[in-house]
Structure 1
């Protein structure tokens, strides 16, 4: 085929692909076509002449001994016959015959066209898969193209189609065609029906973290770190921050002047209430802070359980509406939290046990 190099370059430019990648897929398309049209069991090779820009298709025949049992004149040729063609050939060398698919008529042309279309399409899919797999966990902006009957939202990110299922959308959130939305790339995989399936989410705690990173330069630069986050999407979230610099107030920086930064994120999350908490490496302090706005008397860590002493009037704040505050505090810290009211029998038992322990060691 004449000037195949120009065709490869044109495809590469049009599809935004590398020339070398397209060239390899074109070679594969010619070989697969040859197997279908000429013979499945033969060995083929394809070379592109850079000077003439022509593609050459070859059939390989292995040179074997004159008495080799495999001799069939199709896959193998005797050394004697091979040297009649090229005296330099030895046993184990390949004798190459150039083939021309144009000699096999319209069937070959149609088969080649389908093979090229398939392999270039597969190359595009592979590149999209590689690109978006590397972007899992990243924030993207796209435009809603349609909404399915099952409320799956289809979003175009750049020139790539993605989707967001109902479960990955904040409750009561509605989108219509043409809306511009932000989301997090949740997963990328191949689907037999849809091809590459790129799933978005707006419910993951990582989406909240990505929004904060985008809106707070100090987080992006690394002077403020998000230690952990927990969400009940659309209702409430807690985020633990710490500063890598003594001159930077982690919580104040994340919240912004008059709450402008944290409020912008809350607005994007459909009004989700966000508690910004200063992280502590001391589990007891961290648990106490995580239960804000409640004021805590004390925290005792028992393996993965935190026993929290609290005044009765603070208990409802610690629990929160429908238990949301204590659930998020537990999710954020990783501890099961048990609340004990000050003055309760459990409190007295704890105090008595503490007195006995002190007496044992001779302490007042």
Structure 2
């Protein structure tokens, strides 16, 4: 069966679409296998082979050699079989080439549709494999059109989507504009691979610095965390493995040239570069810069930071519309509560005065109890003897006397249990929207990339081989 265009189709698909020759041949063989089953009976056993030298598809039908034929599609008599192969015996299976299958135009059209469907599937898989290994990279394309607020970006081989939520506020791209973005994800959908881009991701900021700062590329400087409020402000934390290199200065560049290039790409987004430290107290102070921090109380269990600042540093610590405290929370991964020192001192004094309603509690003892978290008579009344002994370092008998006196006064209704809080102690609070810490991923070498491609090819081959007539 000769189809003069088969060789040309294989060559064209391989050259124009980059599909491997073996995959195209496999698709053609599968297509004609399906067509043969439809024409000669689906219960039969068939095999198709592409003959490269003759540029033709050979179709074989396999039949069992028997004495009496019950199903002519599956069986052949011994006498008929010996005419084809003299050495055949009953029980053998004989492959018979169908010399002239007489495919109709409909049969050929069916085969053609299957071929091009399988080729499209192969092309999608190849495209998927080509971009999947480029996830987390910077990528550049041309804006082609808007679809439902999303920008379709031409990457050359394929189109990518830049969702509306991933566009920096205030950005307005026109058709033909160059777009640089972070390739966040490649997923396979029913319509083929979908390449998703982002310009609002903190990792886009990280990748831009990797391009601008050679010390980051060679591993001398590492970006440990990044946080952004796209279009407004961002913070990155950097550290150097070389003590002689200032990581902040290297990222800023001569006269701010390096950081300015990143700012320009991000439409004027202000960027703070801080030095990273494994010590959370030190790092939190840097993350809240330019505010000067008086004290930080760290709660590792609940991942909270209580940050105490002077009154004149309060606005700096909070930032415009709370930006500074929110970015610091994302950078550290901790909830950050900004507390005014004057309000804290006022609260401590009120708590001391509340505890001193008990005659046996002196100012010194009240101060110690407040430092231990006892903020009023109500807290004191709920304590056990052992707890009070440990806090005040007194004998059990004395602790018992203090608690008895407290309960007696409460029953008489002569004292207030808690301090009156007229205003909130916490001036600002921020829960991290995400943890800005950058997880260091192992670099993929050529061997890994080859493995990714081979996995894609394997999936293609399995899909082609598993094709069955529905």
User: TM-score under structure 1 normalisation?
Assistant: 0.87
The residue number in structure 1 matching 2:94 is: 95
Q: CA separation in 1, counterparts of 2:310 and 2:278? A: 25
The structural deviation recorded for 1:166 is: 0.9
Residue 153 of structure 1 contacts residue 163 of structure 1 at CA under 8 Å; is this kept in 2? yes
Residue 285 of structure 1 contacts residue 299 of structure 1 at CA under 8 Å; is this kept in 2? no
The answer to whether structure 1 residue 57 and structure 2 residue 73 are counterparts is: no
Structure 2, gaps ≥5 residues long? 353-366, 373-389, 394-470
The structural deviation recorded for 1:191 is: 3.6
The structural deviation recorded for 1:133 is: 1.9
The structural deviation recorded for 1:239 is: 0.9
For 1:254-293, list aligned pairs within 5 A. 254-293=251-290
Q: CA separation in 1, counterparts of 2:89 and 2:293? A: 88
The residue number in structure 1 matching 2:338 is: 339
- The secondary structure found in structure 1 opposite 2:238 is strand
- The secondary structure found in structure 1 opposite 2:142 is strand
Higher relative contact order at CA 8 Å, sep ≥6: structure 1 or structure 2?
2
Deviation track 1:132-166 (CA, whole Å, cap 9, x = no partner) reads 22222221100011123x22111100231111121
What do you get for the CA RMSD once the two structures are aligned?
Answer: 2.9
Residue 340 of structure 1 contacts residue 347 of structure 1 at CA under 8 Å; is this kept in 2? no
The structural deviation recorded for 1:109 is: 2.0
Deviation track 1:329-357 (CA, whole Å, cap 9, x = no partner) reads 11111111122222423577898569779
Q: CA separation in 1, counterparts of 2:332 and 2:78? A: 77
Structure 1, gaps ≥5 residues long? none
The residue number in structure 2 matching 1:164 is: 162
- The secondary structure found in structure 2 opposite 1:110 is helix
The residue number in structure 2 matching 1:173 is: 171
Q: Give the number of the structure whose alpha-carbon radius of gyration is greater.
A: 2
Q: CA separation in 2, counterparts of 1:110 and 1:90? A: 39
Q: Which moved more, 1:293-302 or 1:40-49?
A: 40-49
Total equivalences in the alignment? 355
- The secondary structure found in structure 2 opposite 1:245 is coil
Task: From 294, 298, 301, give the equivalent of 1:297.
Answer: 294
For 1:124-139, list aligned pairs within 5 A. 124-139=123-138
Task: From 12, 16, 27, give the equivalent of 1:14.
Answer: 16
The residue number in structure 2 matching 1:112 is: 111
The structure that is strand-richer by fraction is 1
Q: CA separation in 1, counterparts of 2:43 and 2:14? A: 31
The residue number in structure 2 matching 1:225 is: 222
Q: CA separation in 1, counterparts of 2:96 and 2:223? A: 65
The structural deviation recorded for 1:80 is: 7.2
